[in-house]
Every structure is written in C-alpha cells, then in structure tokens.
C-alpha cells in the first residue's frame, strides 16, 4: 500500500481559510424547503493529478430521467488541507454549474453539508455561493458518532456531534453500508433524508450522486 505525504501547509493559510469558512457558515440557513421539487441535480468532482474535473447531472423528479450533463476541467488552486477540501472543489464546481442551460430546484452533492467540524462542508459552500437549496450525500462520516441503523432498507440513525444532530445514517438498501445525508443550505435534515430515500433505485447511492460519480469517470477519459 502506498502512502502519500502532503507537504506541510502554511499556518497563515489555515487561519485565513478557517476565518473564511466561519464567515460563510454564518450565512447558512436550514429550513423546510419553499420550492416544488421538479428538477434535481447531482454533482461530484474527481481529482486528476493537480487538476480537477467537476460534473453536474440534471434529473427530472420524481421519475429521475436525465435532462442534462455538463462538466468542467480546471486546475486546483489550493494545496490539500484536511477539513478545507471545499475550497479546492467549489471553484471548479461553480464553473461546471454555469454550463447548465436549466437550473435545478435542489442540488445533491457528493460530500457533506453541515456534517463538518465547522458545519461547512462542500454542499453548504455551494449552497451559499449559489443561494440554492443543497444537501450532502456522503459515503463516510467526517465528524460525529452514530449507531448503525437497522439492517432493513429505510432504517435511519442520527449522527451526533457536540450534542448536535448534524446528519442521518441511512440504510438505502437492505444489508449494505449506510450513506450519510445532511442539509447544506436552504434545506432541513428531515427533507434531505426523505429525498435521499426517494431518489434511491437499484443501487446503494441515490441516483443524482451515483450518476454524477459515473459521468465523472466517463468524462475523465476525454481529458486524459
């Protein structure tokens, strides 16, 4: 197994990113949705060396037919800093988003919303920048503790961090590992959880982020 050592990060950069993240976090609004969900987007990013490829897939809701797929390939502007990955991903995701001819009612992001040490994961970043409802859908937790949900499909268990309920562990398929849904911006946890379950079909991952992940691999072939 190969281990990669990232170079030490400038402490001033960490201070600056922390301050920016805290500023952005103050703008996060968690609320029941005030929209009718007809178009949902999934988005994901894939790192290729010092470059990044970001994908948005638009789907109709509730039938989940693909309406549009766009991608953007760019250079990474920041070094890797744990807890600040959103600053590496967000600029390129925003460029990909500009290419959509139709805008979604809700964006499901492959990553975290408020289930983050400073409550500011990539889904919250995107939501604040775009002023759009967003939610995070992650394969692993970043912070917090939870008890494994029951083995049957639809079982849910809260993820708690510093006495806050920041996400739900959801068993989207019977006897498979749970996924983790959290609100990003202009959404609440209950709705994010319902949407994660409502958009799951044959696979463990809900269709918006599953398809974004799939097309990130497809489009990668075009830039190599």
Binding-site residues for Mg(2+), in ranges, read 44, 110
Residues tagged in the binding site annotation: 44, 110
Report which of 198, 195, 154 is spatially closest to residue 175, judged by C-alpha positions. Answer: 154
């Amino acid at each position: 197994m190969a281990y990669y050592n990232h170079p030490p990060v400038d402490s001033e950069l960490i201070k600056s990113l922390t301050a920016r993240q805290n500023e952005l976090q103050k703008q996060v609004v968690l609320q029941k949705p005030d929209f009718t969900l007809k178009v949902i987007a999934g988005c994901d990013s894939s790192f290729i060396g010092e470059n990044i490829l970001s994908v948005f897939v638009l789907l109709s809701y509730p039938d989940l037919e693909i309406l549009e797929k766009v991608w953007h390939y760019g250079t990474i502007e920041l070094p890797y800093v744990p807890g600040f990955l959103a600053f590496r991903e967000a600029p390129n995701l925003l460029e990909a988003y500009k290419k959509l001819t139709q805008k979604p009612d809700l964006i499901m992001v492959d990553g975290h919303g408020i289930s983050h040490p400073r409550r500011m994961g990539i889904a919250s970043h995107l939501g604040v920048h775009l002023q759009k409802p967003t939610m995070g859908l992650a394969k692993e937790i970043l912070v917090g503790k939870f008890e494994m949900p029951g083995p049957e499909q639809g079982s849910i268990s809260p993820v708690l961090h510093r006495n806050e309920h920041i996400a739900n562990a959801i068993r989207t398929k019977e006897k498979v590992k749970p996924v983790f849904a959290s609100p990003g911006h202009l959404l609440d946890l209950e709705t994010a959880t319902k949407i994660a379950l409502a958009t799951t079909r044959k696979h463990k991952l809900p269709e918006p982020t599953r398809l974004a992940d799939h097309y990130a691999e497809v489009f990668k072939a075009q830039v190599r």
